[in-house]
Structure 1
Amino acid sequence: MSTSTSNAVRRIVVAPRPLRIAVVAPPYFSVPPHAYGGVEAVVAGLVDTLVSHGHHVTLVAAGRNGTRAQEFVQTWADPPAHLLGGSIGEVINAARVLAGLRLDSVDLVHDHTLAGPLLAASRRVPTVVTVHGPLDELADVYRPLGRTVQLVAISRAQTRQAPELNWVGAVPNGIDVDSFPFRSRKDDYVLFLGRHHPTKAPHLAIAAAKAAGVRILLAAKCNEKVEHEYYEREIRPRLGDDVIDVGVADAARKRRLLAGARCLVFPVCWDKPFGLVMTEAMACGTPVVALARGAVPEVVAHGRTGFVVDRPDELAAAILRTHELDPAECRAWVGERFSLEAMSRGYERVYRTVLGAGVTASLSGLPVAGADGSRS
């Protein structure tokens, strides 16, 4: 036997074992959603990709299971969309998760709901929580929970809003890029896609399109009281031949509208932690014109996949420049950074970090209120 052979070292790589993951979805729409439901779309894509990677997933959700999850716990037979905007739907959903989810069959719980994290301290397994909402409200929920919840941000901008929280990672939302049709030649309209709500500001999108002399289509949800009031006050008076309300778009129509638009106008008026519709537009080769709030500068590559401006009065000029951008670069940008594969790998790293750290659901170390209201 030669020296080189005798001194050779055989390296054995052991693949990490598959995980058993319970994924808890919000209760208001099915998973995946038929139309509106950004969080539900993210959950569906994550579940299917985790299963394709060999993990065992238990989906806890309303309606029917439309994913590849091996197990399903139904919280509502019919998703209670009419309860969206209130608190009772979340509370009932949390109670049903507590009653229906068997913790002896999972390694960790990944919760995407608002009230669900309140259950974390009662579990023997870690609870990973994706923070989908605005931290100006949610920080007061997560702060008292301390290390009983392992928080995941969906952008770096989100963590900067409350750096003292127990962040264990930042994983941008992902989409199924291949499910979005790519078009390099566009029709002569711009698109607003989302909700009729003051913080989404479709009235600013309308004003920008009018100033640019371009027709705008509005595909937006309008079923909550605040949405109806905003629509009647700000949108209905502006409708006409150049401002067309096409209603809520289902998954197929949304893709057609996004693919055909000159650009998506995203005049968000709050520090939104992500903005899934921007990635969906760019996947279709459609650039985004947006205000620089929250995570927008992280999602859109200014001057390459869209234009990010500081003031509403700059949106019109940006719309007129979108012909300078390459649709192929828009799609490539999303494929590299915001795919389901990228998202699922990010969460797998978070799961293994949390489990490797031996995280337990304990309130020890947090201040506890005494019977007299004092804190010890």
Structure 2
Amino acid sequence: MVVPPWLSVPPPGYGGLEQTVAGLVDALVAGGHAVTVFGAGEHHGTDASFVSTIPDLQYDRLGESLPELAHLARVNHLIGPSDFDVIHDHTTIGPLLAGRRAVPTVATVHGNPVGEYGTVLSDTDQGVGLVAISHAQRRLNPRLPWVGTVHNALDTPGIPHKRIPAPGPVLWLARFSPDKGPDTAIRACRAAGLPLVLAGKCNEPAERRYFDEVVRPMLDDDVTVVLDADRRAALRLLIDARCLVMPIQWEEPFGMVMLEAMATGTPVVALDRGAVPELVRPGVTGLICERADELPGALAAAIDLDPAACVAHVAERFSTARMAAGYEEVYRRFIAAAVPGGVREPARVGLR
């Protein structure tokens, strides 16, 4: 399992990719597989073996290409054909370099496969298979070498949840970006006469600039701002919220925060973009709006949705065991297609 060098697995706060990978790794280990995670830093919190390619996490260099390139080059030097049956890559540019490996590689696409990222993915080596995290994401670029679609998941045992609807504020929980629509959230809550908590990741230059230029001038006493909350604080905010608002302005490829909200018993009110219809059951675990002017009414109505239905939906449809089973099927099919005769000698496991 190859992860980017930016954050630990699982992450202490923001990091949907790392959170998903942590759940997948532990579910695969629980299923009897020997798994090794290749990442950065010294800390990891999964049941797998861990190999670090560099002592320090590279989060302060997020956005640069060289840290990830160097990380992947080190990974490729460490992996031999007798070590593993399959490599699962979660990095952005890993699909470009995976063709140099003598081990079959599947790569999960965590972003939208269009624009410059789509150009990179279109040059994926023919020996690498891409996995989508939603059908909506896959439809954006159907010509890519997809080998499967597996929804992300959430390890729900241990996540606290409410048993009755909470009359608290509406919660917006995302990174501060125009794609996530915090300005739309403010306008919708004001129109509904409801207080709003904006809990956002705001530690990159573009995020801080957007917050200062667009969001800050809109603030008033009806909006509470929480910046860079850790995971425990975010869960508390979710539990206390009447609903999570997702006024997304782009084709969201998944949206882990929606699973987190529903797992705590908090319904989701969202615009119908990207993977939203694949995650939210309208009228049961949330309300999906076609237009922004429908949001105020939906925010008011969300208080009538049953928290237990939200919790059950995530546990049934988006469990880590279900995600692991989906990837197991992808691994087996891809190995069978990549290895002549579909047979491969058992790998030596336990690489340290």
Q: TM-score range by the shorter chain?
A: over 0.9
Contact 2:7–2:57 (8 Å) recurs in 1 = yes
TM-score (norm 2): 0.92
> What fraction of aligned residue pairs are identical, expressed as a percent?
50
Match of 1:227 among 207, 210, 230: 207
Aligned to 2:138: 159
SS at match of 1:328: helix
Aligned to 2:347: none
* Cα-to-partner distance string for 1:50-95 (whole Å, 9 max, x where unaligned): 11111000101122121110x2111232211122233233222222
SS at match of 1:46: helix
Asked if residue 309 in structure 1 is aligned to residue 303 in structure 2, the reply is no
Asked if residue 191 in structure 1 is aligned to residue 171 in structure 2, the reply is yes
Aligned to 1:168: 147
1-structure distance, mates of 2:81, 2:261: 39
Contact 2:58–2:67 (8 Å) recurs in 1 = yes
Match of 2:161 among 182, 188, 200: 182
Displacement of 1:145 after TM fit? 2.1
Match of 1:277 among 257, 265, 272: 257
2-structure distance, mates of 1:54, 1:234: 50
Asked if residue 217 in structure 1 is aligned to residue 197 in structure 2, the reply is yes
Aligned to 2:67: 89
TM-score (norm 1): 0.86
Displacement of 1:104 after TM fit? 2.4
SS at match of 2:282: coil
Match of 2:88 among 105, 110, 113: 110
2-structure distance, mates of 1:75, 1:313: 49
SS at match of 1:59: strand
Match of 1:45 among 23, 26, 29: 23
Higher Rg of the two aligned structures: 1
* Cα-to-partner distance string for 1:148-189 (whole Å, 9 max, x where unaligned): 211111111111111111111110000011232110231420
What amino acid is the match of 2:302?
A: T
1-structure distance, mates of 2:326, 2:215: 39
1:9-158, aligned counterparts within 5 Å?
A: 23-63=1-41, 64-69=43-48, 71-137=49-115, 138-158=117-137
Aligned to 1:7: none
* Cα-to-partner distance string for 1:84-133 (whole Å, 9 max, x where unaligned): 23323322222222233344210010000011112221122111010101
1-structure distance, mates of 2:51, 2:125: 28
1:237-252, aligned counterparts within 5 Å?
A: 237-252=217-232
What amino acid is the match of 1:175?
A: L
1-structure distance, mates of 2:166, 2:339: 50
In structure 2, runs of 5+ residues without a counterpart are 341-352
In structure 1, runs of 5+ residues without a counterpart are 1-22, 361-376
Q: What's the RMSD between the two structures over aligned residues?
A: 1.4
Contact 1:143–1:165 (8 Å) recurs in 2 = yes
